[in-house]
């Protein structure tokens, strides 16, 4: 057995987007810091290594990636997965060239600083971190190619992850897309963009979700969008009041205007993509899939027959789960989590900057409270209120850094609009916090909605 021991300042578990964002700020702002990064993949980029080849960002590239380096063409560019992987590979090469970063790919951290190669069990590295062990794996991002479906599949059924759509060698009589999140949306749009007739597509949609209009995320107006979203919480009695208000303002929309969605996961599309999605009229809403057989699909609330020549596409993985929040900072440890709603890379950059400030961990944890990735509609209220409070607190502790951060939504607003938006957030925050608490109580007291069988 070959064992090597390394002493460093930071041991970062994972080399995904959040881990890379944290390391980027530490290297830029502390010229003496040394880092060891470990990841199971051969290359940095985390889940982007496993994503389907036609994946793109859903939000503008200007808000994604590393603090130090713009991504793609910047602005509203929706960078492709291959470009993002190359971006992180280039960044890691730059990190290593500083002589202050050691990258251990194809390796697994088994605990207590012990790292074992995934390709040679006799190759072991032990690491002592003088400052922090940084857990960049807590979010547990998953894509369908990384995990089996959570339902039974008979052996004579052809079921594939969305990765395989780009490698199809023949047409199928019917394509059944299982899952209505970002991945399912991308699969539907890929099929339509590549000439599959809408009537050949069946969409299994266990739950409808509210969708964010990408137009509302334009760099010049996005901070106004955040203010409007917080105001919708402050003005509402129940969370659906907020969604309907935002729908009237053109900030969000829904796939089927006759249904009230129960989910909110920050999935972002533009108006033209929504029009394409609505071309698919064969939508199955009978709850979650239990089993796929040669005859069709068995769901919680019924069965649906499918032709023998059907390709099933599994898009059911819970890419960003709603994890139980834990303190970001603890003695000798940082657990990377979003602290702004659905803004993972900016969150990790801010966490790194705050780690270098002269504050104790209790104060740091009061400045940046975790914002778990939302799932249910009610989660919008908490996510917005905590995001807004984090922004106001950070503005008090690091106003210049926040304003200058490439990844911060407010970075792209003109100075007068930025100051006005911050003032409106501060004025709205107390009302929004009270409304959030009332919405949580109302949601807890309300009976769970049930979709009638056959609808």
328 falls within a domain: yes
394 falls within a domain: no
Contact 345, 57 (CB under 8 A): no
pLDDT tens digits along 179-207: 999 999 999 999 999 999 999 999 999 99
429 falls within a domain: no
DSSP of 297-361: EEETTEEEE--SSEEEEE----SS--PPP--SEETTEEE---SSTT-HHHHHHHHHHHHTSS--H
Q: Do 65 and 105 belong together in one domain?
A: yes
Domain with residue 272: its CATH number is 3.50.50.60
Q: Do 169 and 72 belong together in one domain?
A: no
pLDDT tens digits along 257-293: 999 999 999 999 999 999 999 999 999 999 999 999 9
Q: Do 262 and 366 belong together in one domain?
A: no
**Cβ partners under 8 Å of residue 87, min gap 6:** 65, 66, 69, 71, 72, 79
Q: Do 148 and 123 belong together in one domain?
A: no
Position 454 confidence tier, pLDDT thresholds 50, 70, 90? very low
pLDDT tens digits along 111-148: 999 999 999 989 999 999 999 999 999 987 777 877 88
441 falls within a domain: no
pLDDT tens digits along 302-345: 999 999 999 999 999 876 777 889 999 999 999 999 999 999 99
pLDDT at 68 over 70: yes
> Which residue is associated with the tokens 């790292």?
115
222 falls within a domain: no
pLDDT tens digits along 394-453: 999 999 999 999 999 999 888 999 999 999 999 999 999 999 999 999 888 877 655 433
Q: Do 184 and 85 belong together in one domain?
A: no
- Helix (H), strand (E) at residue 410: none
269 falls within a domain: yes
pLDDT at 139: 83
Domain count, the chain: 2
277 falls within a domain: yes
Q: Do 137 and 177 belong together in one domain?
A: no
Domain ranges, residue 178 = 144-208+255-314
Count of other CB atoms within 10 angstroms of residue 295: 14
436 falls within a domain: no
C-alpha distance from residue 287 to each of 213, 299, 302, 304, 309 (Å) = 26, 6, 8, 12, 24
């Amino acid at each position: 057995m070959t064992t090597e021991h390394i002493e460093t300042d930071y041991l970062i578990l994972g080399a995904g987007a959040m881990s890379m964002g944290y390391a980027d700020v530490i290297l830029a702002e502390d010229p003496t810091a040394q880092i060891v990064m470990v990841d199971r993949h051969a290359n940095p980029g985390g889940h982007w290594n496993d994503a389907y080849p036609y994946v793109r960002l859903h939000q503008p590239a200007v808000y994604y990636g590393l603090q130090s380096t713009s991504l793609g063409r910047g602005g509203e560019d929706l960078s492709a997965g291959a470009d993002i992987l190359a971006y992180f590979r280039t960044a890691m090469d730059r990190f290593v060239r500083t002589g202050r970063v050691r990258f251990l790919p194809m390796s697994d951290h088994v605990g207590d600083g012990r790292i074992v190669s995934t390709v040679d069990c006799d190759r072991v590295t032990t690491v002592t971190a003088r400052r922090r062990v940084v857990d960049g794996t807590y979010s547990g991002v998953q894509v369908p190619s990384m995990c089996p479906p959570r339902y039974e599949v008979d052996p004579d059924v052809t079921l594939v992850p969305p990765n395989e759509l780009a490698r199809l060698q023949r047409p199928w009589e019917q394509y059944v897309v299982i899952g209505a999140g970002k991945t399912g949306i991308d699969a539907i749009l890929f099929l339509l963009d590549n000439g599959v007739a809408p009537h050949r597509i069946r969409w299994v949609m266990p739950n409808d979700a509210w969708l964010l209009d990408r137009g509302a995320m334009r760099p010049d107006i996005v901070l106004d969008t955040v203010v409007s979203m917080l105001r919708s919480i402050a003005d509402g009695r129940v969370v659906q009041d907020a969604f309907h208000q935002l729908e009237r303002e053109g900030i969000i929309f829904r796939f089927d205007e006759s249904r009230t969605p129960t989910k909110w996961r920050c999935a972002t599309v533009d108006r033209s993509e929504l029009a394409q999605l609505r071309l698919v009229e064969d939508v199955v809403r009978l709850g979650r899939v239990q089993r796929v057989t040669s005859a069709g699909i068995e769901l919680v609330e019924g069965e649906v027959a499918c032709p023998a020549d059907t390709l099933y596409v599994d898009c059911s993985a819970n890419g960003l789960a709603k994890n139980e929040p834990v303190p970001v900072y603890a003695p000798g440890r940082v657990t990377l989590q979003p602290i702004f709603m659905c803004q993972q890379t900016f969150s990790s950059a801010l966490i790194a900057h705050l780690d270098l400030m002269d504050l104790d961990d209790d104060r740091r944890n009061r400045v940046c409270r975790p914002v778990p990735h939302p799932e249910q509609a009610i989660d919008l209220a908490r996510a917005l209120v905590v995001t807004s409070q984090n922004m106001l607190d950070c503005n008090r502790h690091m106003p210049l850094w926040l304003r200058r951060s490439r990844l911060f939504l407010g970075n792209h607003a003109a100075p007068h609009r930025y100051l006005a938006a911050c003032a409106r957030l501060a004025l709205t925050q107390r009302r929004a916090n009270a409304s959030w608490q009332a919405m949580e109580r109302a949601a807890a007291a309300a009976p769970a909605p049930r979709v009638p069988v056959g609808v």
